[in-house]
Amino acid sequence: MKTYKIACIPGDGIGKEVIPAGQTALEALAKAQQGFRFEFTSFDWGGDYYRKHGVMMPADGLEPLRKMDAILFGSAGDPDIPDHITLWGLRLKICQGFDQYANVRPTRILPGIDAPLKRCGPKDLDWVIVRENSEGEYAGVGGRVHQGHPIEAATDVSIMTRAGVERIMRFAFRLAQSRPRKLLTVVTKSNAQRHAMVMWDEIALQVSKEFPDVKWDKELVDACTARMINRPASLDTLVATNLHADILSDLAAALAGSLGIAPTGNIDPERRYPSMFEPIHGSAFDIMGKGLANPVGTFWSCVMMLEHLGESAAARQLMQAVESITADQSLHTRDLGGRASTAQVTQALCDRLAGATARPQPA
Ligand code: NAD
Ligand code: K
Ligand code: MN
């Protein structure tokens, strides 16, 4: 039987609650599907590891991950450790170490979810945001001089390379081409950022010629936020820089009902390394340890992982189970206005997965 080796990195805060929920769901799915199994290896990296060892993960931590088929990640972020240390010390180390340059963030309004946009139903909002995940504003280049003095100066330099922009554009056009509407919006800010973003626009035009069947347009990032709210159905696939897409995708998640639902994949499209799947939310300090975390973002991330592994029937079955969960108001967690716990939602999902394959008894 096919065995998928999955690394689980719960990390911090509610990551420690939703990742075990994701594992439970995957186990139930494998039992129902009967065509494959999972071999999970958990890594206790994150804030607690930092308190003990002074680093978020071991220096050679990428080595055990390298032979995995995929990585399931929770969140990096601890109330007592500065965010730039937790982020750069764990999540970005993996994303950059494995050149997961395409961050893919689907957004849909799932059945039963009361999304905040008026006159906007599930059919009016079906987006995939592609985020450049390896360079740009989060290249990590910059510094501070005369720290703490009145003359202090600091920079965070946004680095964009032709190769880096070309590969994310090509990925986005290909993804848009694979979707029914074949529609791509290239998000830009080339009115104000007149070097890298102008190159970004030029490369979009150049790559578009390889995809004559894809309809595409350009939108300034600020105008794009308004368009997401005023004309959501005019968007389908979007591609944006690391920073721009980071912001747009949290907006997208909120417009679809909750940050707790949205999934993402940090993908190495060339499949040289394992890709990493995670809910887009963070550690959620306000609710951690209380069993209130919505596990749906993690379940949907597991769907993306299964698609990446080529298990499309299993991915479909899990997504159907997720949608039947969200359709049931009694299974909504607090972020959706309900009272269900992480454990109740997870149990209900597993019941549905088991029920879906239960054969009718012969009379
Ligand atoms: P957050 O996503 O942790 O929380 C924002 C709000 O959304 C909170 O009110 C939280 O309760 C709610 N929320 C988020 N996920 C939820 C879920 N599954 N169920 C119910 N409610 C949910 O964002 P933040 O507060 O800006 O960040 C907290 C920490 O997480 C910070 O340290 C930050 O750096 C880190 N963070 C990490 C990642 C990551 O690892 N990819 C992403 C975002 C934030
Ligand atoms: K996360
Ligand atoms: Mn973010």
Whether pLDDT at 284 is above 80: yes
Contacts of 342 (CB under 8 A, 6+ apart): 17, 18, 21, 291, 292, 293, 294, 295, 333
Q: Looking at this protein, which amino acid is placed at residue 355?
A: G
Q: Are residues 259 and 202 in contact, defined by beta-carbon separation less than 8 angstroms?
A: no
Backbone φ and ψ for 277, nearest 5 degrees, come out as -120, 140
Helix (H, G, I), strand (E, B) or coil at 9: strand
Instruction: Report the pLDDT averaged over residues 46-69.
Output: 98
H/E stretch holding 50 reads: helix 47-53
Q: State the residue for tokens 């494998």.
A: 30
Whether pLDDT at 214 is above 80: yes
CB neighbourhood size of 320 (10 A): 14
Which residues place a Cβ less than 5 A from the ion ligand 3? 246
pLDDT tens digits along 297-352 = 999 999 999 999 999 999 999 999 999 999 999 999 999 999 999 999 999 999 99
80 lines ligand 1 (CB under 6 A): no
286 lines ligand 1 (CB under 6 A): yes
Whether pLDDT at 293 is above 70: yes
Which residues place a Cβ less than 5 A from the ion ligand 2? 75, 278
pLDDT at 361: 53
Say what percent of the chain tops pLDDT 90: 93
- Ligand (nearest to CA of 138): 3
Task: Label residue 58 by pLDDT band (50, 70, 90).
Answer: very high
- Ligand (nearest to CA of 95): 1
* Protein residue with its CA nearest to atom 22 in ligand 1: 260
Task: Label residue 355 by pLDDT band (50, 70, 90).
Answer: confident
pLDDT tens digits along 129-185 = 999 999 999 998 999 999 999 999 999 999 999 999 999 999 999 999 999 999 999
Q: Looking at this protein, which amino acid is placed at residue 356?
A: A
- Ligand (nearest to CA of 76): 1
Helix (H, G, I), strand (E, B) or coil at 81: strand
Whether pLDDT at 359 is above 80: no
Stated pTM of the model: 0.95
105 lines ligand 1 (CB under 6 A): no
Task: Label residue 101 by pLDDT band (50, 70, 90).
Answer: very high
Helix locations, 160-310, DSSP H: 162-178, 196-208, 221-230, 242-255, 296-308
9 CA → ligand 1 middle, Å: 16
* Alpha-carbon 339 to chain mean position: 25
Whether pLDDT at 363 is above 70: no
pLDDT tens digits along 224-268 = 999 999 999 999 999 999 999 999 999 999 999 999 999 999 999
Q: State the residue for tokens 């990195």.
A: 9
User: 323: which 2 tokens?
Assistant: 């949608």
Whether pLDDT at 360 is above 60: no
Among 75, 94, 341, say which to mutate for ligand 1: greatest number of ligand atoms within 8 Å of CB. Answer: 75
76 lines ligand 1 (CB under 6 A): yes
71 lines ligand 1 (CB under 6 A): no
Among 133, 246, 259, 276, say which to mutate for ligand 1: greatest number of ligand atoms within 8 Å of CB. Answer: 259
pLDDT at 357: 60
- Rounded to 10 deg, the angle between the 15-33 and 312-326 helix axes is 120
ipTM > 0.90, yes or no: yes
